[in-house]
Amino acid sequence: MDNFWFLFSGLVLAWAVVFFYIWSLARRTRDLRLQMDAVQAQIERNRGK
Amino acid sequence: MASTSPPDTTLDSLDADLARADRPVSLAPSPALIAVAAVAMVVSLYAALLYAPTDSFQGNIQRMFYIHVPAALTMYVAVTLIFFASILYLQKRDDRWDEVGAAAAEVGTLFGTVVMITGPLWARPVWGTWWTWDARLTSTFILWLIFIAYLMLRAYGGSPEQVARYCAVLGIIGFLDLPIIHFSVVWWRTLHPQPVIMTEEGLGANLPGSMLAAVALGLLAALLLFTVLFRSRLRVERISRQVLAMRRSLDLFDGENL
């Protein structure tokens, strides 16, 4: 149990940073997909005019 | 041409944009790669916490080695990738190399941050201090700051061409710090230990087999995670540029039509 909390904190913080980044990448991908869909819809609307 | 519909040439260009817009999907890491990376991470965690023997001098805190060192070596890989992408961008002025640099820099910053977190948490119980301005720590901190500067330049740097050029130069400067980091413990007297993996006697020659296996697994897991995140980030970069190009084509910057 020596220095357990230092090791535990290191593991938790390292993984937290990685998971936060994965979450942020997933959110950005989803937002971009929505923007792409909106632009494509606008293109279709312009095409129909 | 007073009509509200765009001219045919614009429509052709948009069709081409739409066709290209599907390409980033192919960059996405496959489910198999993601699964292999996840399994490797779980196995490496098992190896670090349970398989590797307890260090007789440092105790359990030495297990930080199996996260800290693979993260640092993966950061080296990211910096090297940025360096080659920067050289190729400056040589060919091909945006794809700029995209590679941008993606590698962000994921490299992530691994650099893991190094900067685990290092002080390991140092405090072993050295009695969270931080000291010795050569290895300072040069690593400088590289991390270069990463941060690179990301800030990407976000606030100005025109895309200018940003790409400046980032390429900064990426090359960052790479110059790499040998300083690696050899700092040889060139100067430092608190940080000498290299234990890449040594003159050979790869991991001074490590017991079980410790070498655990750190090798950690490195494999970190490299697989890097690959997954790098490809995902590269896809985000491509889609983002694609959306920007299409919005420019449609003149939708005011957002009213969306």
A17–B252 CB contact, under 8 Å:
no
Q: How far is B11 from chain A (nearest CA, A)?
A: 8
Please report whether residue B21 resides in a domain.
Answer: no
Number of structural domains (chain B) is 1
Residues 6 or more apart whose CB falls under 8 angstroms from that of B228 comprise B29, B33, B34, B37
First-to-last C-alpha distance (Å) of chain B: 24
CB contact under 8 A, A25 and B67: no
Question: Does B58 map to a domain?
Answer: yes
Beta-carbon contacts of B146 under 8 Å, excluding residues fewer than 6 positions away, are B170, B173, B174, B177
8 A C-beta contact, residue B110 and residue B74? no
8 Å CB contact of A6 and B239: no
Q: Is the ipTM, as predicted for this complex, more than 0.95?
A: no
Tell me how far apart the alpha carbons of residues A33 and B1 are, in angstroms, rounded to a whole number.
Answer: 32
Domain range enclosing B231? 28-195+202-254
Q: Is B87 a domain residue?
A: yes
**Cα separation, B164 vs B130, whole angstroms:** 36
B232 touches chain A (CB under 8 A): yes
pTM for this model (two decimals): 0.87
> pLDDT tens string for chain B (258 positions)?
344 444 445 555 555 655 555 555 567 788 999 999 999 999 999 999 999 999 888 989 999 999 999 999 999 999 999 999 999 999 999 999 999 999 999 999 999 999 999 999 999 999 999 999 999 999 999 999 999 999 999 999 888 899 999 999 999 999 999 999 999 988 988 888 887 777 777 777 778 889 999 999 999 999 999 999 999 999 999 999 888 888 887 765 444 444
